[in-house]
């Protein structure tokens, strides 16, 4: 027959076991990171000064499973559907937004698009040409699955101004840290 004292000892042991297991899980996830996080090395200066060539970046590859990318997010994507490459650029426009050029400067929904600090004040100029087959007629309203990406360096022309829009299915994750 179990006494009250034995029952209390048993419950205390259960709680101790619970906290040991919970602590181990927390420690393991903080040491090894979330299984949805992936690390990459930035191969180019395309996102300088925000991310320099050779910097390590970490992306949450499940960030967009329940929500859509937002304007301003740094996103990981494949540049074309048959590519093994992974690129990082800033989401500049999302489905339904209207991209246009006024006096050669990029606008989203009628508002000038500026580079992020410390390049604040610089605008994104119209490309002299676009990649063949990616031409966009401006003003252009993004379709339900299209996103427009920009480098953080306005002088860097190899972003959506050059190669056009990116489909939602090409977006893999969201950058969560860089160093």
Residue-level pLDDT at 94 = 97
The predicted-structure confidence for 77-95, as pLDDT tens digits, reads as follows 988 777 778 889 999 999 9
| d(C-alpha 163, C-alpha 15), whole Å | 58
Architecture of domain 37-178: Ribbon (2.10)
Residue-level pLDDT at 17 = 40
Residue-level pLDDT at 29 = 35
The predicted-structure confidence for 143-162, as pLDDT tens digits, reads as follows 999 999 999 888 877 889 88
SS3 38: strand
Q: Tens-of-pLDDT digits for all 179 residues of the chain?
A: 566 565 555 555 444 443 333 333 333 333 345 567 888 888 888 888 888 888 998 999 999 999 999 999 999 998 877 777 888 999 999 999 999 998 888 999 999 998 887 777 788 888 777 777 777 889 999 999 999 999 988 887 788 988 899 999 999 999 988 76
- CA distances 100 to 18, 44, 106, 120, 137, Å, are 58, 27, 6, 20, 9
Q: What is the value of pTM for the model shown?
A: 0.77
User: Residues with Cβ < 8 Å from 8, sequence gap 6 or more?
Assistant: none
Domain ranges of the chain: 1-32, 37-178
Q: How far is CA 15 from the centre of its chain?
A: 40
**Which residue's entry shows tokens 């698009």?**
113
H/E stretch holding 70 reads none
């Amino acid at each position: 027959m179990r006494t009250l004292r034995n029952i209390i000892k048993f419950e205390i042991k259960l709680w101790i076991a619970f906290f040991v297991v919970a602590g181990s899980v927390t420690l393991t996830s903080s040491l090894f990171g979330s299984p949805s996080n992936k690390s990459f090395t930035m191969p180019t200066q395309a996102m300088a000064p925000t991310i320099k060539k050779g910097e390590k970046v970490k992306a949450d590859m499940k960030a967009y499973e329940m929500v859509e990318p937002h304007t301003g997010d740094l996103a990981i994507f494949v540049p074309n559907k048959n590519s093994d490459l992974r690129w990082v650029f800033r989401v500049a426009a999302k489905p339904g937004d209207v991209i246009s050029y006024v006096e050669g400067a990029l606008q989203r929904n009628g508002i000038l698009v500026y580079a992020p600090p410390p390049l604040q004040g610089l605008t994104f100029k119209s490309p002299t040409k676009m990649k063949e087959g990616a031409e966009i007629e401006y003003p252009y309203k993004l379709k339900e699955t299209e996103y427009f990406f920009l480098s953080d360096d306005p002088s860097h022309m190899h972003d959506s101004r050059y190669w056009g829009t990116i489909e939602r299915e090409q977006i893999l994750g969201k950058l969560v840290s860089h160093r």
